[in-house]
Amino acid sequence: MSHPPATGVSHPPATGVSNPSATGASNPPATGTPLLSFDGLRVALGPSQPLFAVCVLLNLVSAVAGAAAAALGAWAVSRAILGAPADDLWLPAVLVAGCVVVRTIAVWLEAWLSHAVSFQMMARVRGWIFASLARIAPAGLARRRAGDVATTTLTDSEALEIFYAHTSIYIASSVVTTPVLLAGLAVIDPAVAVAVAPVLVLACVAPLLLRRAAIRHGQAIRETLAELGAEVTENVGAVREIVGYGLTARREERIRHLDEKLGRLQVANTRRAGLETGVAGVVATLGVVVAGAVGGWKVGDGSLAPELLAPAMTLAGYAPSALLQLIGVSRHSGTTRQAAERIAALLYAPTPVDRSGTGTVPDGDTVGLAAERVSFTWPRAANAMRDDAQDAAQADTHAGPGPDAPTLQEIDLRIDAGENVAIAGRSGAGKSTFAALLARLADPDDGAVLAADVDLRELSAESMAAAVGLVPQDVFLFHDTIRSNLLLALTDETPPEDETLWRALETAQIDSLVRSLPAGLDTVVGERGATLSGGERQRLALARAILSGTRALVLDETVSQLDVANERGVRDALAADTSERTTVVIAHRLSTLLGAERIVVLDRGRVVGDGTHDQLLDSCATYRDLVEPQLAALRSSPRM
């Protein structure tokens, strides 16, 4: 059965806003503004803009100081060769040493500060990504593999570091550095500067000609990296199944295939990048040749002093240095661009549920719930989350809704405050979808879902979380202690007394197990609660739900992995604890249905029965068909 992801008590993300900037120091760039643009850079920089300007200045200083040191050195050597007195060489020697010191300091400071700026921006971008995940979850993530999302959050955001810490600085610096060095060359001789200028233009041509190939390579590499990351993540999570079904060799072969594919793509990308760098370097070296030819001709006719020829050639060699620096990092432009586009796909994904409401639920111990002519169809992008999706192949057999038919159709249902109601129906009937609407993991296409007669769409995220909570069948536990997993349900900064935690565990019938553990509440449960059985994970999630104090609790097959005795104990304890709390239970088991005050039967997305067990046996054929096999099994079992 496929359900919306949850952590045990599933509330809508309590961001309170519907834009991706709920975390981080600034909003992301406006929709349509590329992250790899100076508008995108300006927004990503946020308060780091002055520091970025300092980095650009330092890069300019290091380039000019390096060129000045080389040119002054060439001038001094030329003068020495031409027989200048030794006393005349002290000043250029001191100037060269000073330029070298300045360049060294500038390079060190730029490397330090540029990465500080870059990592601040990466943190800001990751904040945008996490806020976007919260904004679009769960429907917007239904078709995304966990490993793919992890790659976007971590690896793709790291790929932006090349642009933010290097490319953007070199672009801004080269706009000033290259003209300054060309102007220095013009001071020596304007004709040489004019002759070298076209060469600088040629140095930029190779990357532009290969730009399309760079984008193609980058897209293929990022997509393969994401696929490889998703495969590894799935293999780690499914290691028991892989070993149990003897799939190790098959999964290993798939990883090897992806790894080899990635290697081929990276080789092709590196070959193209090397061609860019090589061609640009050759063309840039041509500048020295041109300067030497023009300068030599001018020395020959006496219009240029001989000792200035070497400095002119040196500056001609340094003039394209900023461009070469830029080209050196631009060879990664394809992969960086594709990483930015993958991030943008998350940042600007449509918002499935608008959580900008500001309303509240009236005060009280519990709330009633209602559905008024509710119809709903999962969007195509979220069909993987349809109720009982793994049984979709049986939908035609049951004449249930197809992939384009409404999952729920004109549901009219009222659940009184404090009532204990079970929702029954065969696979694909719409039970879990109805639970998702009650917890506002999605909004109905038509009609309204109410809590205490207030439309859920009008509630603030905080008020919604306090009103209704969902405990799914497939619960999630963090690789942390039992205590920490329980405390996720609470928003108070001051943790409750241990006695409060033990009461919740006792209600969920798992206190004896926790007390038997050497570390008790401080026992680490492993990733996704791997050290616990399925039933133990469900009971721990139920304890977390009870601890949250939510006024209406929706339990989606929450005790499905418990044996009958444990289920009865949980049900009785829960009934005593939630006597003043509305409880909606999604159930298949007869024992769970019998424990409810009232049973609502869904079939093909519609309510076809509503009453007690005995009433429905008499009046609802769908209910009889659902429970008759279980009743027959009870009748045929030997009496104890």
| Residue pLDDT, tens place only, 536-579 | 888 888 888 888 878 888 888 766 555 566 666 666 666 665 55
Alpha carbon distance 360, 355 (integer Å): 13
For range 505-510, the mean pLDDT: 81
For range 341-368, the mean pLDDT: 80
Alpha carbon distance 55, 167 (integer Å): 12
Q: 434: closest CA among 627, 613, 600? A: 600
Six-digit token string for 361:
């639920």
Helix axes of 190-203 and 309-318: crossing angle, nearest 10 degrees: 20
**pLDDT-based confidence at residue 146 (cuts at 50, 70, 90):** low
Alpha carbon distance 349, 134 (integer Å): 12
Widest distance between CA atoms in the chain: 121
For range 178-187, the mean pLDDT: 86
Alpha carbon distance 82, 76 (integer Å): 10
Lowest mean pLDDT among 150-164, 193-207, 478-492: 150-164
Instruction: Classify residue 274 as exposed, middle or buried by CB count within 10 Å of its CB (0-12, 13-18, 19+).
Output: exposed
Overall size of the chain counted in residues: 640
**pLDDT-based confidence at residue 446 (cuts at 50, 70, 90):** very high
- Residue 181: pLDDT over 50: yes
Bond prior to 138 in cis (omega within 30° of 0): yes
Alpha carbon distance 139, 10 (integer Å): 14
- Residue 108: pLDDT over 90: yes
Render 247-281 in DSSP notation, one character per residue.
-HHHHHHHHHHHHHHHHHHHHHHHHHHHHHHHHHH
Element (H, E) at 175: helix 168-188
Structural domains of the chain, with CATH: 38-347 (1.20.1560.10), 369-636 (3.40.50.300)
Range among 164-168, 365-369, 501-505, 601-605 rated most confident: 601-605
Which residues, 6 or more positions from 187, have their beta carbon under 8 angstroms from its beta carbon? none
Which tens digit of pLDDT belongs to each residue from 207-261?
Answer: 666 667 766 777 787 778 777 777 776 777 666 667 776 777 888 888 888 888 8
**pLDDT-based confidence at residue 105 (cuts at 50, 70, 90):** very high
Residue 221, SS3 per DSSP: helix
Residue 83, SS3 per DSSP: coil
Which residues, 6 or more positions from 316, have their beta carbon under 8 angstroms from its beta carbon? 185, 192, 196, 287, 288, 290, 291, 292
Pairwise pLDDT comparison (219 vs 460), residue with the higher score = 460
Six-digit token string for 610:
């509503």
Instruction: Classify residue 111 as exposed, middle or buried by CB count within 10 Å of its CB (0-12, 13-18, 19+).
Output: middle
Which residues, 6 or more positions from 532, have their beta carbon under 8 angstroms from its beta carbon? 477, 525, 526, 540
For range 293-316, the mean pLDDT: 87
Whole-model pTM above 0.75? Answer: no
pLDDT of residue 317: 82
pLDDT of residue 404: 47
pLDDT of residue 539: 82
pLDDT of residue 330: 57
Which residues, 6 or more positions from 156, have their beta carbon under 8 angstroms from its beta carbon? 222, 226, 339, 340, 342, 343
Render 343-392 in DSSP notation, one character per residue.
HHHHHT---SS-----B-PPSSS---EEEEEEEE---GGGGGGSTTGGGG
| Alpha-helix runs per DSSP H in 488-586 | 498-507, 511-516, 534-548, 564-577
Pairwise pLDDT comparison (215 vs 384), residue with the higher score = 215
pLDDT of residue 384: 41
Instruction: Give the rounded percent of residues in the chain with a pLDDT score beyond 70.
Output: 77
